[in-house]
Amino acid sequence: MTLFIFHKNAIFKELIENAAKIREKRSRDFESDHEFDITEHWDGSRSNGKLSGKVLVLNQNYEAMSICNVQRAVVLLFLGKAELISSKDSKKVHSVRTALPFPTIVRLRVYIKVPYKKIVLSRKNILRRDNHKCIYCQRADLQLTIDHIVPKSKGGDDTWENLVTACVKCNNKKGDRSPEEAKMPLLKKPSKPSHITFMKHFIGRVDEDWKPYLYMN
C-alpha cells in the first residue's frame, strides 16, 4: 500500500511538473514569436515592433494592482491568466497569425495577495502626494518646502495629516502659526496616500475608462 501511494504521488508530481513546463514553454514561445512580429496599427501607421501604451491590471476583485505594457497584457490574455475588461476600438494588436483587441484594462482570473508595503513618510513622498504644488497657493514654480500645519512648537507631530508641501513664500508668511491664525486656509486636506495615489502620479494622463478603478469619478 505504501509503495502504491508513493508511486501514485510520483506520477501526480510528474504530471504537475510536465504541465508547468508546457505552460512555461508556451509563454516563452509566444513572447519569442511576437516580440518583433506584433506591430501596432493605428490609423494605418505601423510602429517598429515594440508596443507602446500602458495597461491597467486589476486583481480578481477589480482592485487596481499595477500597470504593464501592452505586450505583457497580450501575453496574459493569450495564456488565459487574465480577461479583457476594456480595449481601444480604433486600435488592434496584429501578429503574423491573428489580430487582437488593443487592451487598456485587464483583470487577473486568480486573486493575487499583494504583500502590504508601507509607504514611508518622507519629504519625497509628501511632495508626490501633493503633486509638487503648494498646499496654500497651488503654485509649483517656486522652491518647495515641507510645512507643519500645526507648528512643532505648538505640539504638531510628524504625520501625513500634519505635513504638507508649501512654497518658500507661503511657508515664510505662515511662520510659526496655524493656518487659521495666519488666515491661510488649506486648499486640500492632507491624508495618508495609498498605492493608487502614487499610481496616478506615475500614469500622468489617465484614460477615461481607468477612472472608476482609480476612484476618480
> At residue 165, does pLDDT exceed 60?
yes
Domain co-membership, 143 together with 89: no
pLDDT at 1: 45
Domain co-membership, 52 together with 101: yes
Structural contact between residues 140 and 146, judged by C-beta atoms closer than 8 angstroms: no
In a domain, 62, yes or no: yes
User: In degrees, to the nearest 5, what angle opens at C-alpha 119 toward C-alphas 118 and 122?
Assistant: 135
CA-nearest of 98, 92, 84, 95 to 55 is 84
Domain co-membership, 136 together with 90: no
Domain co-membership, 161 together with 96: no
Domain end, chosen from 77, 108, 139, is at: 108
Which of residues 206 and 217 earns the better pLDDT score? 206
The burial class, CB within 10 Å (0-12 / 13-18 / 19+), for 40 is buried
- Domain CATH number, residue 168: 1.10.30.50
Distance CA 129, CA 121 (A): 11
Domain co-membership, 162 together with 80: no
Domain co-membership, 9 together with 88: yes
Domain co-membership, 101 together with 136: no
In a domain, 117, yes or no: no
Domain co-membership, 87 together with 50: yes
Domain co-membership, 47 together with 72: yes
In a domain, 214, yes or no: no
Residue for grid cell 503574423: 96
Residues spanned by the domain of 79: 2-108
Domain co-membership, 103 together with 130: no
Domain end, chosen from 49, 76, 108, is at: 108
> At residue 13, does pLDDT exceed 90?
no
Domain co-membership, 14 together with 52: yes
Is the whole-model pTM more than 0.85?
no
> At residue 144, does pLDDT exceed 90?
yes
Domain co-membership, 17 together with 93: yes
* Each residue's pLDDT tens digit, 94-110: 766 777 788 999 999 99
The number of distinct structural domains making up the chain is 2
In a domain, 187, yes or no: no
Distance CA 97, CA 115 (A): 39
* Each residue's pLDDT tens digit, 36-81: 333 333 333 333 344 668 899 999 999 888 888 888 998 899 899 9
- Of 3-7, 74-78, 187-191, 202-206, least confident by mean pLDDT is 3-7
Structural contact between residues 50 and 31, judged by C-beta atoms closer than 8 angstroms: no
pLDDT range class, residue 179, cuts 50, 70, 90: very high
